[in-house]
């Protein structure tokens, strides 16, 4: 290589390394999902334990990290409000009227139909 190309080579950034989640990060995500599954089955209202617990058992592994965070935040609401929203007995507030809420409602309707 000539001096000119040698100097240029130093200014060309090397490709960014591929990001692989660390084992610690994967364990944290796994423990978050386990904690959330427990929360979904121990909510305070037996009806919610059944609805949210069944949903979590069926779909928690498929949820994105963002959806897991959304579900965690959603569960901070009042149990009766959650029950009415999922059962479509009350209007869902705008901030909770999301694709995740629709999935919860659809799942509950399917469960109700199929016993």
Give the long-range contacts of residues 97-105, CB within 8 A, separation 24 or more. 98/70, 100/63, 100/67, 100/70, 100/71, 100/74, 101/74, 103/55, 103/59, 104/51, 104/52, 104/55
Q: Are 83 and 48 in contact (CB under 8 A)?
A: yes
pLDDT for 91 beyond 90: yes
Looking at residue 114, what is its pLDDT?
77
As a whole number of angstroms, the distance between CA 87 and CA 94 comes to 16
Task: Find the length of the chain.
Answer: 115
pLDDT for 13 beyond 70: no
The pTM score is 0.74
As a whole number of angstroms, the distance between CA 37 and CA 60 comes to 8
Question: Could you confirm whether domain 25-114 is CATH 1.10.150.250?
Answer: yes
């Amino acid at each position: 290589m000539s001096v000119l190309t040698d100097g240029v080579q130093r200014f060309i950034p090397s490709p960014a390394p591929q990001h692989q989640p660390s084992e610690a990060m994967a364990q944290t995500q796994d423990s978050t999902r386990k904690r959330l599954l427990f929360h979904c089955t121990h909510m305070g209202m037996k009806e919610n334990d059944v609805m949210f617990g069944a949903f979590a058992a069926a779909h928690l592994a498929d949820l994105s990290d963002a959806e897991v965070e959304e579900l965690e935040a959603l569960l901070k609401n009042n149990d009766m409000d959650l029950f009415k929203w999922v059962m479509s007995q009350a209007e869902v507030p705008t901030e909770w009227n999301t694709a995740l809420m629709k999935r919860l409602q659809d799942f509950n309707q399917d469960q109700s139909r199929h016993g």
